[in-house]
Amino acid sequence: MPFTSNRRTLLLGAAGLSGAVMAAPRRVFAQAAAPTAAPTGPHSLAPLPYAANANEAAIDAMTMEIHHDRHHAAYVGNLNTLLQGQDALAGLALDDLLLNLSRAPEAIRTGLRNNAGGHANHTMFWQIMGGQGGAPSGEVAEAITRDLGGFDKFRQDFNGAGLRVFGSGWVFVTVTNAGQLALVTRPNQDTPLMDGVRVLMGNDVWEHAYYLRYQNRRADYLNAWWNVVNWAKINERYAAAKAGTLRI
């Protein structure tokens, strides 16, 4: 979607505020404060594994930059802040931390849930994009046919689940060590990892993931997203899950 320079400036500025972008719901970019030096700690933000414009077939470069450099960075910074003085929790790998949230002091438990979940979800999200979409192949294709009724049905069910998420959240495909797949949704930044269940792939249906291009048209975003899915990477994650080495 073309932008005038004034509109582009407005959107960039608004993304750094806790208010609305134009007439958007107020929380679309609520956490997208301008990047600052994140508190140091056990967790860090990896760079995108491709250029910000690599997913233009579904997601514009500006959204990718804001989503990664501001939203995801904020989760990492907040997580490191919450873990200051919590040596036992800070020593846990991210998936183990999510599985052991009940061990956290009540005063920081919700913050850990939101920010550790956001860090894990987005880390997975960047990894499984940057591809050419199309139909899956290899063992993942076989598993989708076996467990989810074939690719066409799976894609329809996945998109439908994403549309039914009320407010903000995610739609996931989980995977067991035996390679069995299931379709689930979670609100906010919750993740199946909190229940000890591994995630094969998933899509972010928070408005900040798609609003600049699609506004309130979540269905259009969900449909377009399949154009940038990286099935080779998802097959790697599937193999790792069966080998017991898939973490995030």
Instruction: Please write the tens of the pLDDT for every residue from 202-220.
Output: 999 999 999 999 999 999 9
- pLDDT at res. 40: 84
Average confidence (pLDDT) over 189-210: 98
244, 177 Cβ separation under 8 angstroms:
yes
pLDDT digits (tens, 9 = 90+) for 58-103: 999 999 999 999 999 999 999 999 999 999 999 999 999 999 999 9
Q: Which CATH class is domain 138-243?
A: alpha beta
- pLDDT at res. 183: 98
| Cα 199 to Cα 31: distance, rounded to the nearest angstrom | 24
Q: Token pair of 221, please?
A: 């975003």
- pLDDT at res. 247: 97
* Mean pLDDT, rounded, of the chain: 89
- pLDDT at res. 37: 53
Domain boundaries, given as residue ranges, for the chain:
138-243
**Percent of the chain whose pLDDT exceeds 70:** 84
State which H helix or E strand residue 175 sits in. strand 169-175
Average confidence (pLDDT) over 132-145: 97
Higher model confidence: residue 3 or residue 93?
Answer: 93
- pLDDT at res. 3: 37
